[in-house]
Amino acid sequence: MTNVSTEEAARQSERLAAAGRFLAAGRAEEAAALIEAALAACPDDPDALNAYGSLLLLRGDLTRANDVLGGAATAFSTHAGLCANLGAAHQMAGRHAEARHCLQRAAALAPEAEAPLLSLARARLLAGDTVEAEEAAVAALARNPENAEAIGLLGLIALTRGGHADAERLIREALERGAEDPVLMRGLSICCLRQGAAGEALALAERAWLAEPLDRDGLEHLARCQAEAGRLAEAEATCTKLLAFAPNLVGARELLARIRLAQGEPEGALADLTAFAKANPGSTAALNALAGTARQSGRLAEADALCREILRREPDHSTALKLSEDIALAQGRFPPRSESALPDGVRISVPPDMVAGEFILLSRFLPALAGEDGRVRLHAQEHFLPLAAHLPVGFEEGPPQPGEATLPLFSVLRCFDIDGDWLADPQPYLTADAALAARWLHALQEHPRPWIGFTWSLDVRGFRMDDVRAAIPPGATPVSLMMGEGRHALARWSEAIDAGVRLVGFADMIAAIACLDYVIGPDTAATHLAGALGVPGMAAVGAHQPWHWASRGERALWYPTLRVARQTRPGDWSAVVATLRAACTSIVAEVSAPAELQPAMASS
């Protein structure tokens, strides 16, 4: 500012400070009056022009914001705030490269400030550049280790990369430090959903939506959480509301179809999506939603045909390629062996979002991938390492070194000539710790055989504890392998042994399962472990037919000692319960007297 008195400068500073508070609170009209007064007092004040640009951004007037901020930033080239806001205008308009240049300059112009670095981190994260986003967030955190926004951004970066454990830890820390960003609440909600904590996920989604009720993504996520928590009527109402003002929102259309699947209405779910796809013939996204819903309803042939059409239009469509491969595996068709040679001693990387069941299934290949030193180089989440220790091979664990060859664990399927006959060998590939198994065997011998282990799904639409209870007949000893909060439901089933209270990790669970006569349950780690240990049992599988429960007849392809009982209609488990009941009844009949059981134990 030029030619203004000290008193006028103080009044100008007070106006702009108050305007900044109103802008931060989203109160555009109150801010506008103060900014207009500031500009009237000094039209060339760069701080007032910056505040005016912020007001225009808040109102969504990108054209005028770009004009005002562009002109002011040109005139006042060393003003960090103007440069940062101009970067924000570019970002909102989708000009990611221009936004990056502006925000990098703003950070350089204000080397002690955190805000430009945080803006740069947010912009690069939105542009999909997690590397530079992380660098900027780390730099902001170095300037202020207590900055909750920087911690939260690191959590969102981890979430984008699939590191759900790190994401949850960082986002929780940011929220505990006072961050009230609805994006963070939604990010933590996503982490909770992945863990099966639908109640907490829903509570966080509701908080996020209340904080930003006009956010369309927040409303869609709220509907997803309502569905996962079993509040299907509410989820359906939320989707209907969302589609009223965003009728072409494919994600909401697909979610509504999935809700109807859960309500046992597969025909209606598919009919609605089919009509939407026909009404939007050029929309690959609509076809992809229809393919995914057909896959979830168990109509694999229809889903496969839709994937082929998507790939005809877009040969590199990543979602359709992945879904097509998933369908092939679910149908018992295996990928061809790769012609490229596998580098000796390649490090196997386990994606951070891989579920335990898939790791258990695919770990059967790890011994065959050992290097010349007889060891497998592995990079996996820490909780998988105790499980890997039960494989007959040594491990070198750690992140890849610079220049080291890596292979995603799922890709090992292309390293072998796989067929159903090759998988039919019932030889177990996991062994239990002998001392732990002996203790479990001693504890179980106090109870009559057969010992039938079980788990159930925490998803209210999945295979529930009451379904398991109906499947296990009198004369057997039911042994619950549930861990965590889910096991509290056993208070309603006094006859069941709560083994989960003594299970502290994979080593204990492997030892307990190795001692059992039979294991039943849905798609959980315990069911996979039974198959890997060669313990007989039966998996209760939904109509969507997860690829790892592909079968020949009733026999699981990947686990020869397990059978598969599959839903014929989404939402209806009655036929599955009947099949399991018949199998368990046969086991009871076969066990005429206690016999010495020899579990699959490690020799040392």
Give how far Cα 453 sits from Cα of 150, 260, 515, Å: 46, 32, 10
pLDDT bucket at 105, cuts 50 / 70 / 90: very high
**In sequence order, what are the beta bridge partners of 394?**
375
What would the pLDDT profile of 165-181 be if each residue is shown by its tens digit?
Answer: 899 999 999 999 987 88
What would the pLDDT profile of 286-315 be if each residue is shown by its tens digit?
Answer: 999 999 999 999 999 999 999 999 999 999
CA distance linking residue 545 with residue 302, whole number of Å: 14
221: closest CA among 184, 195, 247, 248? 184
CB within 8 Å of 281: residues ≥ 6 apart: none
End-to-end CA distance of the chain: 81
Structure tokens at 134: 């992380």
- pLDDT computed for residue 603 by the predictor: 42
Buried b (16+ CB within 10 A) or exposed e, 276-306: bbeeeeeebbbbbbbbbbbbbbbbbebbbeb
- pLDDT computed for residue 339 by the predictor: 77
178 secondary structure, DSSP code: T
Q: Nearest 5°: phi and psi at 85?
A: -70, -35
* Residue 454 CB-density burial (10 A; 0-12 exposed, 13-18 middle, 19+ buried): buried
- pLDDT computed for residue 435 by the predictor: 95
**Is-above-0.85 flag for pTM?**
no
**To which residue do tokens 């590939």 refer?**
429
Domains of the chain with bracketed CATH = 260-330 (1.25.40), 349-418 (no CATH), 434-590 (3.40.50.2000)
448 secondary structure, DSSP code: P
Beta-sheet pairing, 375-379 with 394-397:
parallel
CA distance linking residue 82 with residue 53, whole number of Å: 8
What would the pLDDT profile of 33-82 be if each residue is shown by its tens digit?
Answer: 999 999 999 999 999 999 999 999 889 898 999 999 999 999 999 999 99
- pLDDT computed for residue 3 by the predictor: 57
Beta-sheet pairing, 451-454 with 406-408:
unpaired
CA distance linking residue 512 with residue 452, whole number of Å: 11
At residue 320, does pLDDT exceed 90? yes
Q: Nearest 5°: phi and psi at 461?
A: -95, -5
CA distance linking residue 573 with residue 99, whole number of Å: 53
Give how far Cα 565 sits from Cα of 552, 555, 580, Å: 12, 9, 7
**To which residue do tokens 């390649």 refer?**
346
- pLDDT computed for residue 101 by the predictor: 92
Structure tokens at 303: 């889903």
Percent of the chain exceeding pLDDT 70 equals 97
Q: Are 443 and 462 in contact (CB under 8 A)?
A: no
Over range 4-26, report the average pLDDT. Answer: 86
CA distance linking residue 584 with residue 451, whole number of Å: 10
Buried b (16+ CB within 10 A) or exposed e, 479-504: bbbbbeebbebbeebeebbbbbeebe
217: closest CA among 255, 258, 191, 179? 255
Q: Nearest 5°: phi and psi at 291?
A: -65, -45
What would the pLDDT profile of 448-493 be if each residue is shown by its tens digit?
Answer: 999 999 999 987 778 999 999 999 999 999 999 999 878 889 999 9
Cis? peptide before 450, omega within 30° of 0: yes
